[in-house]
Chains A and B, each alone.
Chain A
Amino acid sequence: DIQMTQSPSSLSASVGDRVTITCRASRNINNYLNWYQQKPGKAPKLLIYAAVNLQSGVPSHFSGSGSGTDFTLTISSLQPEDFATYYCQQSYTTLFTFGPGTKVDIK
């Protein structure tokens, strides 16, 4: 099975900050990597698919990069509605493993 790790597990930031979340796969997954945002009591929301593609309707201050085993989600200027938990997910295999999540809260 492919294991996914994320860092940090949590962070505190202010509105307007640049935030970077990293995700690492236990083996090469090419660019089969998705990012989701989840708010309390809500289903996950797809932000980025295939490592770099912004899902329709997602604000452009979100971006993804990386390939192979190392990936990054960047929020270029944190907005009030961005405080949430972020998960990466591999889709290289259909076991669809998630990372443990990164909680972004208000500083």
Chain B
Amino acid sequence: EVQLVESGGGLVKPGRSLRLSCTSSGFKFGDYSMTWFRQAPGKGLEWVGLIRSKGFGGTTEYAASVKDRFIISRDDSNKIAYLLMNSLKTEDTALYYCTYYHSGGPYYYFENWGQGTLVTVSS
């Protein structure tokens, strides 16, 4: 059974940093691109960024709203994906989800999701 468990959320002041973790099991982690989405309270879904599998270069991509502030990394040995969020803003307040897709494609879709971890940015 696939499991994705996000952790690390909480209340943080603007300008501070927070690191989220996504601990995975039940699938061949190294073959998949790990992806983070977020959902602000009462709002829709927003893609945050991704990290490709090592076989596809391990490269990262980010949404314009978080580029240069957020960093995604992965630990394939322990099957964990990370989202390091720096210079947090109040508009980063959201429920953060991790999920994955197979790097080989051709179609990318997200069939398994974690339960999310809530990040609240407030002074």
Interface pair A98/B111, CB less than 8 Å apart = no
Given A94-B50, A98-B44, A101-B44, check contact A46 B110 (CB 8 Å). Answer: yes
Interface size class of A (residues with CB under 8 A): 20 to 34
How many residues belonging to B are interface residues under a CB distance threshold of 8 Å? 21
**Digit string of A36-64 for contact with B (CB within 8 Å is 1, else 0)?**
10100001101001100001000000000
Residue of A44, A94, A97, A99 ringed by the most chain B CB atoms within 10 A: A94
Interface pair B107/A95, CB less than 8 Å apart = no
Interface pair A44/B45, CB less than 8 Å apart = yes
Q: Say what secondary structure dominates the interface of chain A.
A: loop
Task: List B residues 73-123 near A (Cβ within 8 Å).
Answer: 97, 101, 107-111, 113-116
Q: Which residues of A contact B (CB under 8 A)?
A: 1, 32, 34, 36, 38, 43-44, 46, 49-50, 55, 87, 89, 91, 94-101
